[in-house]
Structure 1
Amino acid sequence: MFVAIFGSVEQGIIYAIMALGVYLTFRVLDFPDLTVDGSFVTGGATAATMITLGYNPFIATLCALIAGFIAGSITGILHTKAKINALLAGILMMIALYSINLRIMGATSETSIGRPTIPLSNADTVFKSVAAFWQKLGIDDSINNMLRSMGVQMVPNTWGTIFIMIIVTIFIKFAADWFLKTEQGLAIRATGDNSKMIRSFSANTDTLIIIGLGISNALVALSGALIAQYSRFADIQTGTGMIVSGLASVIIGEAIFGTKSVARTTLAVVCGAVIYRIVIALALQIKLFDTGDLKVLTAIIVIIALVVPNLIEKRKEKKRRARRRMMRYQQLTSAKKDGEFIA
């Protein structure tokens, strides 16, 4: 159980980068971007292909990020310049990316197309390098010995992945906070809130939308590249339903931690991604669901995260109204006792 939850936390921290990208489009830009399902695979396919061809895994991961930025920018161009509906532009790009990703993944095969999976079992990945460095420090043995002394028998092979990914994800979170407070970031936020108003100030909303979508899908592709290296394979189907997972992370985080500020919201998104993965892992551990039920489980979690906060808010509002009526009644009763007349 401990190892399963630990693995879920590791994955949740990596998927949190994708959730931050989804947050930028759906919450900041108010843009229903379905490119995510394709750009996530683009990141994994680009990184896996380059690693297989002998490139440095860190350079491969950076190229995956750039590929995601290009994919998101094209979606923005289709919407702003070609005047295609936002939802349709994302769908068209997602469909196009399926074939493009197959081409990318087929670059290491003889046919150059149609290779749906790239194994990375023996490849040099980012996490393999991190694990090797971490084991040299000897921290893993110290932590695992402490856990065994506490009665935990099943312990992770390395703690390097989770610590490094926490650092990377928190860095991206603070970078997003900083960017959204810059002049460009404020303009993007204003575009999502009221594009007509920001356009009246001579701002180029088309460019802002393209930049916002590019950054969002760059983060999604980065997450895809890291997940492919973490799982040690890239598959053409890994992006299916990814947009729903990202939305689930955003909604769960916002429901639990609130959205009073940008910094608090981005932290909520990161925590929401981790909580979402832990819930999925626990559901699978208690044998209530099979691995094939992940999609319906995700849908159930999203529905609960959407409905429960509304029910809680309605109940609080009902109590506030009852409290106000009681206070008004007490005021009227007190006024009558003092001989006052209320008009």
Structure 2
Amino acid sequence: MSTVALLGAIELGLIYGLVALGVFLSFRVLDFPDLTVDGSFPLGAAVVATAVTSGIDPWLGTLLAMAAGALAGLVTAVLNVRFKILHLLASILTMIALYSINLRIMGRPNIALLTEPTLMTPLERLSLPLYATRPLLLAAVVLVCVLLLIRFLLSEIGLAMRATGANPRMAEAQGIAVGGITCLGMALSNALVALAGALFAQANGFADVTLGTGTIVVGLAAVIIGETVLPGRSVPVAVVGCVVGSLFYRVVVALALEADILGLQASDLNLITAVLVGVALVLPATRAKLMARLAPVR
């Protein structure tokens, strides 16, 4: 694999690492299967693209994208908590609505950002090539998000959120506002996904209404692979594992697509994802059985 291809895979891995963090928050912490991410990812891209092309500062546009993603997650949570709609169905309803909302925001199916100032524009002044400097900026953003998320989950309100996901009835009996905690967690989850969408649009120079297709699959793949690569029940290990899983997933996909002996094409991405996730799910049980067989009999 060439250096450019490797750095490109790392760049995508870092961006989708934020998606993995959002999916981890909803899927693992809150036990809330959330398909809203397929809509909040392109929502973040749509908001930042519209903001940047309207002359708004890219940093402010990125914050607006996160706010829009948080609002989308909040809508899903309210449909579930207040109106008692099944969480999966509530997220599907929000995801479907976001497709039309994203079209409304952009005014057309896609927006080009190649000539617009973005967060990546200051990197062009450096002596290093963009394909080398972009991953550094993205790594800094991901590092800040990882540290903040770990700090949050270890705080009192983070503990309440973890308790809500583990046992809602017991959490409510302990005086935790389960509905409010669920709304907060879903808002934070989709804010991270929208941030990933905003960074993706600025790094690749375009926003498209179809960007979110399969985002939930990639996020889940990163979470599951991360749990396999970095097994452990502590919060820091689990959070870091999401980013590691995303990076591992993207590098393996890039290697598989570039290996001529396998004969894979870009259209085989879903097949590669299915195989990787399948291996990640089977490996822990297989490893446990192997260790049990090799253990000395007492």
TM-score (norm 1): 0.84
Give ranges in structure 1 of 5+ residues lacking alignment: 107-114, 141-155, 328-343
Deviates more, 1:189-198 or 1:293-302: 293-302
Q: Identical aligned pairs, as a percentage?
A: 45
- Pair 1:117 & 2:110 matched: yes
Tell me if the contact between 2:22 and 2:188 (Cα under 8 Å) persists in the aligned partners. Answer: yes
**Cα distance in structure 1, aligned partners of 2:123 and 2:264:** 34
Write the letter of the residue equivalent to 1:128.
T
Conservation of the 8 A alpha-carbon contact between 1:131 and 1:158: no
**After superposition, where does 1:131-280 map in structure 2 within 5 Å?**
131-132=124-125, 135=126, 138=127, 140=128, 156-157=129-130, 159-280=132-253
Task: List per-residue Cα deviations over 1:68-116 (Å, max 9, x = no partner).
Answer: 000000000000000000111111111111111111110xxxxxxxx21
Residue of structure 2 equivalent to 1:77: 78
* 2:52–2:61 contact (8 Å) kept in structure 1: yes
Equivalent residue, structure 2, for 1:66: 67
Superposition RMSD in Å: 1.2
- Given the alignment, which residue of 290, 307, 325 partners 2:265? 290
1:175-220 Cα shifts (integer Å, max 9, x gaps): 0000001111100000000111010012110000000000000000
Q: What is the one-letter code of the residue matched to 1:315? A: L
2 CA distance for matches of 1:11 and 1:158? 11
CA distance in 1, matches of 2:229, 2:278: 14
Whether 1:316 and 2:281 are equivalent positions in the alignment is no
Aligned residues: 295
Distance between the aligned counterparts of 1:204 and 1:229, measured in 2?
Answer: 38
Instruction: Show the counterpart of 2:21.
Output: 20
Partner-residue secondary structure (3-state), 1:240: coil
| Aligned partner of residue 118 in structure 1, secondary structure | strand
Preserved CA contact (<8 Å) 2:47 2:61: yes
Cα separation, 2, equivalents of 1:195 and 1:73: 18
Cα deviation code 1:42-74 (max 9, x no counterpart): 000101111111111111111000000000000
Instruction: Give the whole-Å Cα distance in 1 for the aligned partners of 2:265 and 2:140.
Output: 33
Pairing partner for 2:122 from 122, 129, 138:
129
Deviation of the 1:129 alpha carbon: 2.2
Hey, what's the Cα distance between the residues in 2 that align with 1:158 and 1:72? 32
Which of structure 1's runs of 4+ aligned residues deviate more than 6 A? none
Match for residue 93 of structure 1? 94
Give me the whole-angstrom Cα distance separating, in 1, the residues matched to 2:124 and 2:146.
Answer: 24
Rounded to whole Å, the distance in 1 between the matches of 2:124 and 2:160 is: 41
Amino acid at match of 1:4: A
SS at match of 1:126: coil
Unmatched segments (≥5 aa) in structure 2? none
Matched residue SS, 1:55: coil
Q: TM-score, normalised by structure 2?
A: 0.96
1:117 CA displacement: 1.1
CA distance in 2, matches of 1:157, 1:121: 13
The CA distance in 1 between the partners of 2:117 and 2:28, in whole Å, is 37
Shift of 1:265: 1.1
In the alignment, is the contact (CA less than 8 A) between 2:123 and 2:130 conserved in 1? no
Aligned partner of 1:75: which letter?
A: T
- Residue 6 of structure 1 aligns with an amino acid whose one-letter code is L
Aligned-residue offset at 1:159: 3.0
